[in-house]
C-alpha cells in the first residue's frame, strides 16, 4: 500500500479508491467568458464523478483567474506547469492544492523555493515524464530501451524531491505505447512502493481506438496493483474521459459508480432488436443507484437466465419483451407498449 496524500479533501493512495481524473480542455484566461467556460466544464466533470482535474497554467497572469476558478468550483484542481518554477509558486499563491511540475528542468535554488512553499502549504506535487519528451541522456543511459528511459526520467525527478525531504509526490510515467507504459510503471512501483502513482496512456487518440488503448494499459496496471489515480486521455470531451475511467473501474469491479448495463451481442437466435431495446432502456437507467445491474437480452434461450440474475432484466420475445425484477418475472409486453412500460419499470 502506498502512502496516503490529501489534495484538499480528496485522498489519493493508502486505502482510498482509485481516483478518476481528467483535464480541462477549455483555456483558462483572464477573459470573463473563458473563466466561466472553465467553471462550467468543472461542473460538468463533477456531475460525471471527476475527482481531480488538471488545468494548464502556462502564464503568471493566470494567477487571478486560477484563484477565481478555485473559489468557484468544488472540483479539486491541479495546476499543470512544465518548466517555470515561478509559475509553480504563482499557482500555489492562487491556492492550488496540487501542482504538476518537472523538477529536472528547474534551477536548484528555485526548486528549493517551490518545495519549501509546497511543504508549508500542504501541496501535493505530481512529477513524471512522457515518452515523447525524454531527454537524450536517459535514452542513452537506458541503451535505447524506451520504457527503462521513461523510468529513469521519473526516478531522477523523484530522487530530486525526496533528497529535499519532500515525499508528498504522485509519480507518473506515460507513453503512447501500452507495453512501454506498463513496463515503466512496473519498474517505478518496485523502486518506490510507497509513492502513489497516476496512470494512463498518453495521446491515446480518438474514438474506439483511444478508448481501447487507454483501457488496455490502465487495466493491466490496475490488475498488477499499480495506480492510485487514472486519466483516460482521449481526443474527445473530458466528460467522456471520466465516463470511460469509471467503466474501466466497474469492469474490474474496483468501483461501482454508474449502472452496469449488460446486453447480449445478438445472434441468429435473437427474437428482438436488442439495439432498439438498449436505446429505449439507456436514458431510463442513468438515475439508478450505483452498481445496479440491468440486463437486456435478445431471446428466450439464454435471455431469461441472464436477465433473471440482474436487478432489472429484459429478454426479447418475437413481439416485444419479458421483464424481470430481482429474478421474478414481471410480465410479457408488446413492443409498442414498451416505452411506457419500461418508464414505469425503472420508476419514472
Ligand atoms: S441472448 Fe439469445 S440472441 Fe442474445 S446472443 Fe444469446 S442466444 Fe443470441
* CATH superfamily, region 260-345: Sulfite Reductase Hemoprotein, domain 1 (3.30.413.10)
Beta carbons of 315 and 322 less than 8 angstroms apart: yes
Q: Give the pLDDT score at 304.
A: 66
**Whole-angstrom distance, CA of residue 165 vs CA of residue 182:** 28
Three-state secondary structure readout of 132-166: HHCCHHHHHHCCCCHHHHHHHHHHHHHHHHHHCCC
Return the C-alpha cell found at 280: 429505449
What's the CA-to-centroid distance between 73 and ligand 1, angstroms? 46
Beta carbons of 124 and 12 less than 8 angstroms apart: yes
Beta carbons of 90 and 116 less than 8 angstroms apart: no
**CA–CA–CA angle 95, 74, 290 (5° rounding):** 145
Region(s) of the chain under CATH 3.30.413.10: 260-345
What's the CA-to-centroid distance between 263 and ligand 1, angstroms? 9
**Whole-angstrom distance, CA of residue 93 vs CA of residue 290:** 38
Closest C-alpha to 91, from 31, 7, 202, 9? 7
Q: Give the pLDDT score at 232.
A: 97
What's the CA-to-centroid distance between 280 and ligand 1, angstroms? 18
CATH architecture assignment, domain 5-251: Alpha-Beta Barrel (3.20)
What's the CA-to-centroid distance between 329 and ligand 1, angstroms? 19
**CA–CA–CA angle 172, 173, 176 (5° rounding):** 130
Residue among 268, 302, 310, 318 to mutate when testing ligand 1 (max atoms within 8 A of CB): 302
Closest C-alpha to 21, from 94, 92, 98, 130? 98
What's the CA-to-centroid distance between 322 and ligand 1, angstroms? 14
Q: Kindly state if the Cβ of 262 falls inside 6 Å of ligand 1.
A: no
**Whole-angstrom distance, CA of residue 88 vs CA of residue 161:** 14
User: Which residue stretches of 224-346 are H helix?
Assistant: 238-251, 274-281, 303-309, 338-345
Q: Give the pLDDT score at 104.
A: 82
- Looking at the CA of residue 265, tell me the nearest atom of ligand 1: 5
Phi/psi at 336 (5° precision) = -60, -30
Q: Give the pLDDT score at 348.
A: 83
Beta carbons of 217 and 201 less than 8 angstroms apart: yes
pTM of the model: 0.91
Total Cβ atoms within 10 A of residue 45: 25
Site of grid cell 411506457: 340
Per-residue pLDDT tens listing for the chain (348 residues): 999 999 999 999 999 999 999 999 999 999 999 999 999 999 999 999 999 999 999 999 999 999 999 999 999 999 999 889 999 999 999 999 999 999 888 888 999 999 999 999 999 999 999 988 888 899 999 999 999 999 999 999 999 999 999 999 999 999 999 999 999 999 999 999 999 999 999 887 888 999 999 999 999 999 999 999 999 999 999 999 999 999 999 999 999 998 999 999 988 888 888 999 999 999 999 889 998 999 999 887 766 677 667 899 999 888 889 999 998 889 999 999 999 999 999 988
Region(s) of the chain under CATH 3.20.20.20: 5-251
Q: Kindly state if the Cβ of 316 falls inside 6 Å of ligand 1.
A: no
Amino acid at each position: 500500500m502506498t502512502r496516503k496524500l490529501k489534495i484538499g479533501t480528496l485522498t489519493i493512495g493508502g486505502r482510498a479508491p482509485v481516483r478518476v481524473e481528467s483535464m480541462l480542455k477549455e483555456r483558462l484566461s483572464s477573459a470573463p467568458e473563458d473563466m466561466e467556460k472553465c467553471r462550467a466544464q468543472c461542473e460538468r466533470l463533477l456531475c460525471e464523478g471527476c475527482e481531480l482535474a488538471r488545468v494548464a497554467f502556462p502564464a503568471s497572469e493566470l494567477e487571478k483567474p486560477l484563484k477565481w476558478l478555485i473559489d468557484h468550483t468544488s472540483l479539486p484542481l491541479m495546476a499543470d506547469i512544465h518548466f517555470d518554477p515561478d509559475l509553480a509558486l504563482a499557482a500555489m499563491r492562487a491556492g492550488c492544492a496540487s501542482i504538476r511540475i518537472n523538477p529536472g528542468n528547474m534551477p536548484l535554488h528555485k526548486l528549493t523555493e517551490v518545495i519549501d512553499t509546497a511543504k508549508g502549504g500542504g501541496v501535493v506535487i505530481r512529477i513524471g515524464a512522457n515518452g515523447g519528451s525524454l531527454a537524450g541522456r536517459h535514452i542513452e543511459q537506458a541503451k535505447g530501451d524506451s520504457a527503462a528511459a521513461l523510468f529513469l526520467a521519473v526516478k531522477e525527478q523523484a530522487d530530486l524531491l525526496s533528497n529535499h525531504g519532500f515525499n508528498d509526490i504522485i509519480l507518473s510515467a506515460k507513453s503512447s505505447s501500452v507495453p512501454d507504459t506498463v513496463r515503466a510503471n512496473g519498474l517505478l512501483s518496485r523502486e518506490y512502493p510507497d509513492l502513489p502513482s497516476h496512470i494512463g496512456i498518453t495521446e491515446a487518440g480518438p474514438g474506439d481506438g483511444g478508448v481501447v488503448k487507454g483501457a488496455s494499459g490502465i487495466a493491466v496496471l490496475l490488475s498488477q496493483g499499480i495506480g492510485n489515480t487514472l486519466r483516460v486521455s482521449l481526443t474527445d470531451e473530458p466528460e467522456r474521459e471520466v465516463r470511460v475511467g469509471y467503466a474501466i473501474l466497474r469492469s474490474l469491479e474496483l468501483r461501482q459508480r454508474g449502472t452496469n448495463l449488460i446486453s447480449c451481442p445478438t445472434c441468429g437466435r435473437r427474437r428482438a432488436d436488442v439495439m432498439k431495446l438498449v436505446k429505449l432502456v439507456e436514458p431510463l437507467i442513468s438515475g439508478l443507484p450505483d452498481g445496479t445491474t440491468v440486463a437486456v437480452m435478445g431471446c428466450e434461450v439464454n435471455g431469461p437466465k441472464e436477465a433473471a440474475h440482474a436487478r432489472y432484466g429484459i429478454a426479447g420475445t418475437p413481439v416485444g419483451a419479458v421483464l424481470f425484477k430481482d429474478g421474478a418475472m414481471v410480465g410479457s409486453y408488446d413492443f409498442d407498449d414498451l416505452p411506457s412500460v419500461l418508464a414505469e419499470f425503472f420508476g419514472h
